[in-house]
Amino acid sequence: MIWLALGCRYREAEVSMREKLAFSEAQIREALELLRTRYPELETVILSTCNRVEIYAALELGPDEGTTDDPPGSSPNSSTFPPDAQTPGFPKDPEAGLETLLKFWSELKGQDLEVVKAECFQLTGAKAIHHLFMVASSLDSMIVGEGQIGGQVQSAYNLAVECGSVGPLLHSAFQRAGNIARKVTAETAIHQYRTSVPSVAVSCFARQIFEHFESKHTLVIGAGKMAEETLLYLRDEGVKTITIVNRNIEKAQRMAAQFQGNVRPWEELDAALTEADLVVSITGAMEPIVTLERFRALENQRNFRPLFVLDLAVPRDFDPRLAQLENVYLYSVDDLQSVCDANQAARERDLPAAQKIVNEQLHAFLLDIRHRKSGRVISELRQYWDQPKEKELERLFRKLPDLTDAEKREIEYSFDRLVNKLLHPTLTSLHEAGENPENQRGLLKAVRKLFRLD
């Protein structure tokens, strides 16, 4: 069997190239359908996110055609696949298979093949499977341990299943990838430490002030990317009442529509501050928009209620002197970044343990796949021995018509035991050979030839 993975990610390609090679959901459906029509024997999944665009493919080979599931760190043995050994469909040579997929991808996106090739990684065999397991476990992410990629991998797999482009090989690989990701989460702390400024702001700071968020009024000053990300975390915590104030009211309206929030004009900022329990501020102002004097004028209207302020702007939107007030909890980017750095260091300490889980699970998966490959031969070998057994039983029972049913069952049981004993040495050798792909290939070929299973 052949395993392939290729793609461009944040490590190799700039965002401008990733944008050119990216797929929308509709484009993924179209690409999978084209591949399925052109190469019906090929299994494919396409993953497209802001940080990576990747194609995973697998091809089942004939019983004597070999496999590329070599352990990580070794190179696939291409001698089993001469360059011209191709079916009328998808190439059996892994390198030719990668070239075929790269050409398909570049033509589909209208990009030069050599440019695409220079921006992409290309993996075969166990390295391709290992990459999938690392991606699903968030160990290959720009921010190790980030929580979104596992769901994105699952969504890509579900879409490919829906499109009919997944077969038993990729079913096994992606289901195992999900299991590994859950194991990494359960057995390490790599996903427990927040490392982005918005996530730390909510989980490490806002939660210290508010036990519940459902009844809290959130004010967002600004409508940029970080404001949007912070609102995503707050929504997960239960925030329901959101007001957005921004100089560009159209931007505020677009964000409000996304989060079912309300919009107030910039001139009503004081009124919005009076109602707020929690403020997220990220504007491009060059000096504080809320000074100590401005806020003091609002305190009586606020009844001196506590106010939690996440000032994520640089320069700062809130006068630092506000932190001296007893009822104001003011945090800047610098306050949050130190926690982000400490959490990132904690994740990196857990990284070796997470990688060990992936490597152990990869080894187990490869053994399962190899045993499955020998399982087909074992099934054929049992059929090979069952045919003469059944004929001999039939002949014996015709010669001894007076046998009781109990006696017949005993004779059948004895014949079955004899077949099992005859098979035992061969089955044991096939099982042991699963540890070594080369040995397994040679033994499977010898067994098929010896017993004329073809």
Summarised one tens digit per residue, pLDDT across range 393-412 is 889 989 998 889 898 899 98
User: 195 pLDDT band (50/70/90 cuts)?
Assistant: low
Main-chain phi, psi angles of 330, to 5 degrees:
-110, 125
Residues 6 or more apart whose Cβ sits within 8 Å of residue 213: 206, 234, 237, 238, 239, 278
Main-chain phi, psi angles of 278, to 5 degrees:
-140, 130
Could you give the percent of the chain with pLDDT greater than 90? Answer: 44
Closest to 55 in 3D by CA, of 14, 109, 15, 92:
109
> What was the pLDDT predicted at 183?
93
Which tens digit of pLDDT belongs to each residue from 16-62? 888 889 999 999 999 999 999 999 999 999 999 878 899 999 998 76
Average pLDDT over residues 214-238: 84
Average pLDDT over residues 100-118: 94
Residue 227 contacts residue 201 (beta carbons within 8 Å): no
User: 99 pLDDT band (50/70/90 cuts)?
Assistant: very high
User: 197 pLDDT band (50/70/90 cuts)?
Assistant: low
Residue 50 contacts residue 8 (beta carbons within 8 Å): no
Residue 243 contacts residue 274 (beta carbons within 8 Å): no
Is residue 234 scored above 50 in pLDDT?
A: yes
Residues 6 or more apart whose Cβ sits within 8 Å of residue 440: 67, 370, 373, 374, 430, 433, 434
Is residue 278 scored above 70 in pLDDT?
A: yes
Q: State the burial class of residue 157 (Cβ atoms within 10 Å of its Cβ: 0-12, 13-18, 19+).
A: buried
Which tens digit of pLDDT belongs to each residue from 144-180? 777 778 889 999 999 999 999 999 899 999 999 999 9
Distance of CA 190 to the CA centre of its chain: 15
> What was the pLDDT predicted at 86?
40
Tokens of 167: 């077969």
Q: In a 3-state reduction of DSSP, which class is residue 199?
A: helix
Active centre residues (catalytic): 50
Residue 53 contacts residue 47 (beta carbons within 8 Å): yes
> What was the pLDDT predicted at 157?
96
Main-chain phi, psi angles of 350, to 5 degrees:
-85, -10
Main-chain phi, psi angles of 282, to 5 degrees:
-145, 85
> Higher pLDDT residue, 380 or 228?
228
> What was the pLDDT predicted at 60?
86
Is residue 95 scored above 50 in pLDDT?
A: yes
Average pLDDT over residues 228-244: 84
Count of CB atoms situated within 10 Å of the CB of 275:
14
> What was the pLDDT predicted at 451?
72
> What was the pLDDT predicted at 211?
66
> What was the pLDDT predicted at 73?
41
What's the whole-model pTM score? Answer: 0.61
Q: Over the chain, what is the mean pLDDT? A: 83
Average pLDDT over residues 129-141: 92
Residue 142 contacts residue 10 (beta carbons within 8 Å): yes
Could you give the percent of the chain with pLDDT greater than 70? Answer: 82
> Can you tell me the distance from the alpha carbon of 435 to that of 401, in angstroms, rounded to the nearest whole number?
49
Residue 102 contacts residue 117 (beta carbons within 8 Å): yes
User: 435 pLDDT band (50/70/90 cuts)?
Assistant: low
